Structure 1
Amino acid sequence: MSAESPGLRDRIRYWRLRFRAWRGSRPFWAGLLTILGGVPIAYLPYANLKVGQLTVRMATTAGAGSLIIGVLLVTLGLTMWFHHIVRVFAGVASILLALVSIPVSNLGGFMIGFLLALIGGALSISWAPAAPAGEAAKRSSGGPGTAPYEDNLLDGTEDTVDAHGGRHRAR
């Protein structure tokens, strides 16, 4: 091991920062919640739960439908991560699949999968990419066009704000 090779801490820090940058450029939490919502919807109709000596089967006649809905939700969650351009379509589709899972799949995976997929779809629809670094710096520095009441109006007037927050136009 040479003196110039990075240590374990440096490699962990590098991968953590790289993951943070990747996570920030896409609707990460929306995809994660949608994936987590698809798992109980797909799994519970095929599960055998043991309560003491009693085995409870959750199988329904719509087990194949539950499996398809769960797999589609997992696929939509991965789509939100890796193709964030279609995030609105994936969000709407996951909300619709979550609603369909209520009658098809044991009340949407006992409401757990339903709620996770519904929240994930809503987060995906509402997510917006961050502004590029140049635009964010321009806004924070107070450049032209960034103030709420701009001084240089086309008609030669200035906007002023009084002590009570009222907006007035002076010539």
Structure 2
Amino acid sequence: MPRGPREGVRPAFRQWRAGRPFWGGLLLALGGAEVLLTLKASLDVILHVGMQGLAGYLLPVVMLLCGVLILFNPAQRLFYSVIGVLVSLGTWLTSNLGGFFIGLALGLVGSCLAFGWLPDQEPRVSRRRRRKEAQAAKAVARPLEREAGRTA
């Protein structure tokens, strides 16, 4: 069965992704997952043991949860991103230096992206498309200028 130009999984995913701070939520969730994985590293690899109690596992789980919630509940992105920044900074002390700085950085960048996302923005037009539109406008304007010069 032939599909139309805007049917299928890929365009539907693009439309879903455009309506939420996708990259911010994804980076925050990846940061939480990375910090969780570094908690399972061997003692030879671990640089800083920190508080290995509940906080060492709780903060990366909260990071992961905030990232997922940003993806599926974008209306509350400001709250989740602020919590994500605070929890990401907390992993510095509790979870192996924030997952060897990688999880910490991913969490901070993802939270900042989610915080700065605006839902009602028009899609950006690429530079190539703007250039083509300008050339088309010039091509239309040239014959009109010539006709105006003849009649004057």
**TM-score normalised by length of structure 1:** 0.63
Greater helix content: 2
Secondary structure in structure 1 of the residue aligned to 2:69: helix
The aligned amino acid for 1:90 is Y
Matched, 1:98 2:88: yes
The aligned counterpart of 1:14 is 8
Deviation at 1:62, TM superposition (A): 2.4
Greater strand content: 1
Q: Give distance in 2, aligned partners of 1:112 and 1:46.
A: 15
Secondary structure in structure 1 of the residue aligned to 2:104: helix
Matched, 1:117 2:112: no
The aligned counterpart of 2:64 is 74
Deviation at 1:131, TM superposition (A): 4.6
Cα deviations by residue, 1:51-94 (Å, 9 ceiling, x for unpaired): xxxx7253835233222111111110111011001000010000
Partner of residue 49 from structure 2, selected from 43, 46, 60: 60
Secondary structure in structure 2 of the residue aligned to 1:56: coil
Q: Give distance in 2, aligned partners of 1:66 and 1:28.
A: 26
Report which structure shows greater RCO (CA 8 Å, sep ≥6): 2
Q: Give distance in 1, aligned partners of 2:99 and 2:122.
A: 40
Cα deviations by residue, 1:21-63 (Å, 9 ceiling, x for unpaired): 0000000000000011001211212223xxxxxx725383523
The aligned counterpart of 1:84 is 74
Number of aligned residue pairs: give it. 121
Structure 1 pair 107/129, CA: closer, same or farther in 2 (3 Å)? same
Q: Give distance in 1, aligned partners of 2:49 and 2:89.
A: 18
Q: Give distance in 2, aligned partners of 1:131 and 1:46.
A: 41
Percent identical across equivalent pairs? 32
Structure 1 pair 19/46, CA: closer, same or farther in 2 (3 Å)? same
**TM-score normalised by length of structure 2:** 0.71
Q: CA RMSD in A?
A: 2.6
Larger CA Rg, structure 1 vs 2: 1
